[in-house]
Every structure is written in C-alpha cells, then in structure tokens.
Amino acid sequence: MASHHTVLIIGGGTAGIMTAAQLLKKDSSLDIAIIEPSDKHYYQPAFTLVGAGTYDFEKTIRFTKDLIPKKATWIKDFATEFNPESKTVSSKENGTISYDVLVVATGLVNDLDGIEGLREGLEKGVVCSNYVDSRKTWELLKAFKGGNAVFTQPTTPIKCGGAPQKAAYMAADYFRKKGLSDKTNIVFATPGSVIFGVKIIADALMQVIGNYNIHLKTFYAPIKIDVANKVVYFKEVSAGENKCVVNENNILKEKHTGNEIMEIPFDFLHLAPPQSSPKFVKESVLVNEAGWLDVDLNSLQHKKYATIFGLGDVAGLPTAKTGAAVRKQVPVVVDNILKVLKNKTADNKDYLGYSSCPLVVGYGKMILAEFNYKSEFTPDPKLKRMLVFSSNKPHWRLWMLKKYMLPYLYWNKMMKGENV
C-alpha cells in the first residue's frame, strides 16, 4: 500500500505535534500526516516531580488521538526506513509513504543494555530511574532508611541533562524532612567536569550541593552495576584530570580497583540510562557520526537533503534536549517548510540553541536555567512579570511555574500550535 502526503512527520511527541499544529495554523489546507505508534502521550517534564511524590503520574498522560490536530492524518504505525532519494519512508503496516517535505521528530530511546546490570537492576527493583518509571523512584525513596544514595548519569547525551541532579536534590530534601540526613551519604556522580555548563547556574548549584552536603564526583562514568551486591562501578573518563578524591575518612566505602575504575556500594541508586536515536534512525543515511540527525544548527534543515527537517531530541544539536528547546525550534522549522514548499530557500536561521532546564532544588524551590549554544545565561524577560528577578537563584514562584503553569501551557497552548 502506498500513499502520499505533502508534509510527513515521523513522531507524535512534543516536536511532531507542535510542528503539525503550527503548520496548520499557517495553512489549514496542508496535507499533513503524522506517523506515531503510541496510544498515549506523556508530559515528561513532570516525571521528576512524580519521582519525588509531589505530582500525580496519571496527570502526565493524554491520549494521542486527542492531541493530533484535527486536520492532520494520524498513521498509527512504526516508521522503519528512510529512502531520501525517492522521498519515501517505509512503515511496518502501511507500506511505503511518500512526501514533499519530511520532518523527523522521533525523539530518543533508552538503552537499558548500555550499562551492564542496568536492565536487571531495574527489573529487580534495586535500581530506579525517572526516565523509565518515576513511580518506582518514589517507592524506593519512601523505603530508604539510610546509607549511600547514589545518583548518576551516562556519557551519552540524554533528555534534559539536568534531570539526574534534580532527582538528587529532591531526594536530599526528602531525607532532610524525614530526619534521615545524618544517616545518609548522597553522591552525585557525573562524567562531566562541572555540575552545569552555564557558570552562573553552576555557581548557584554548588551552593545547593554544599547545603545538602552532597558528595560531587566529576569525571565518573557509570559502567556496571553489581545488582546482587549493590555496588555501582565507574570509570574515570578523564584520567589524570579528576580532581575528586576518595573522602579522607571514606565514609562512602569507595574503592579504587585500578585502571581508573572506582566502585561505590549503594543502598539507593538512581541512574539516567544511556540514550540514543531510535535504531532505524541511527542506521540510516540521515545521521552524523554520533548517530543523531544531521541538521543545520540554526535552520534545522538536513545538511544533505533539503526537503528533510529534524528537531527535538533526535536532532544532532549541541544544546539540551528539552521541550523548551522544541518550543523555539518549531517556529523556525515551520517557516522553513513553508518556504521549501514554495520552492524557496530555507533561510530562517533564527534558532540560536535556546534551551532551558527547570532545576528543582527541593520541595517548593527551583532555579530556571535558560541558555543558548554559547552557554550564555538568557533569562526570559517575562519572568519579571512573575516578580522573579534572579532566576539563577532558588525561588518558590519558579516552583509554581514548574508544577502548575508549565503543564497548563503545554497541554493548552503548545500542543495546540500556539507560540508561548
């Protein structure tokens, strides 16, 4: 079975639905189809709050059928292969589908086999991850009685790079409220060299880390989990540069076993899994060397195929993979698609790498990191209307933004194609 659509979008997540909705607002006559296999759509930014017991998981869910724009066609199927030379996409159930313009917005996938023992640990309830099941994180948090609470992340790019440390801050505040701080050693281990890539935000977060007495381990990349003995192994990813040392009294019972391998026993382990583009994307001709969609940093047009655009988590862009980034990417992609359909050049290069990370640092407290490709702090002037004049510092109004305002804007504005 073959079919054709003027604009074919692969992926019915944030980027795919927003792109379709905004295109139809510009031109309601456009023939747009979205390939998306899932019945449910999740508001993923709330998973950190679910994992801390302060948000209802059921409120993160909507049905895909209720979000697909009414004038768009939903193809409930899996895309399986790109054929850019013939301007077609192969699908699992619907055969070959051709297009005039293709939008790749597949998102990314968790690689639960990317770290030895991770899948087993998750299945046995020894390890938790807000990226996999935030409800389980909350269960394990409530069951924790003290010991080593370890939070870490992989060397791969991940969705919302700040999320693993948010989990640590929320847990630290929870332990404090439950009187467990004196019995607990909180560790945040990151393969990175700093806690955050924007200095003004990093400075604020170092104060948070100090206030919670968190043990920060930089250049620590998780490589293995011994599920039976509850030990996580790390490799020093920048040998000779690591300024972190084993605590003098070694309250963590950390061991160095040679070849830059460190092991830390844990009583609680939260881990962001390695992530990548979906297999059919990664194995296609559309990706860069790292396996992400090879698009122009500013126009989001594919570097080789002019009728293909990519945005959202699958795009190979040196900025954080967040819904906030998508919010700024979509208008640029929409403008360029309309130009290409009129045989004009996709010359809108207005996307400058904007992204943001709502860094919850405790119950009722949040820092809002907004930045661009240059890692410059770029706070939204609209925050002053909320009486927030220093969004690089913890504020209760930013917490209200995270918990109440952003979900409302997502479901009622962004998903309906409105610029916010």
Q: How far apart are CA 173 and CA 53, in angstroms?
A: 12
Identity at 22, one-letter amino acid code = Q
Write out the E strands in 196-346.
215-218, 220-226, 231-236, 255-256, 261-265, 268-271, 275-276, 308-310
160 a catalytic residue:
yes
Q: How far apart are CA 332 and CA 350, in angstroms?
A: 6
Write out the E strands in 56-204.
61-63, 73-75, 79-83, 88-91, 96-104, 109-110, 147-152, 184-190
**Pairing between β-strand 88-91 and β-strand 96-104 as defined by DSSP bridges:** antiparallel
Q: Which two tokens stand for residue 345?
A: 């050049």
Task: Please say whether the beta carbons of 10 and 104 come within 8 A.
Answer: yes
Give the 3-state secondary structure of residue 126: coil
For residue 91, what are the contacts with CB-CB under 8 A and spacing of at least 6?
35, 75, 77, 78, 79, 80, 97
User: Among residues 17, 46, 52, 160, which one is catalytic?
Assistant: 160
For residue 119, what are the contacts with CB-CB under 8 A and spacing of at least 6?
112, 113
357 a catalytic residue:
yes
Q: Which two tokens stand for residue 228?
A: 């039976």
Compute CA distances 47 → 135, 334, 418, whole Å.
8, 29, 24
Q: Which two tokens stand for residue 317?
A: 């862009």
Alpha helices in 302-347 (DSSP H): 323-341
Q: Which residues pair with 42 in a beta bridge?
A: 61
Q: Which residues pair with 309 in a beta bridge?
A: 103, 301
| Other CB atoms within 10 Å distance of the CB of residue 406 | 19
Q: Which of 194, 177, 174, 180 is nearest to 146 (CA)?
A: 180
The full DSSP string for 244-269 is: ----TT-TT--EE-STTEEEEE-SEE
Q: Which two tokens stand for residue 48?
A: 């950190």
Q: Which of 407, 419, 315, 311 is nearest to 41 (CA)?
A: 407
User: Among residues 79, 189, 237, 357, which one is catalytic?
Assistant: 357
Catalytically annotated residues: 160, 357
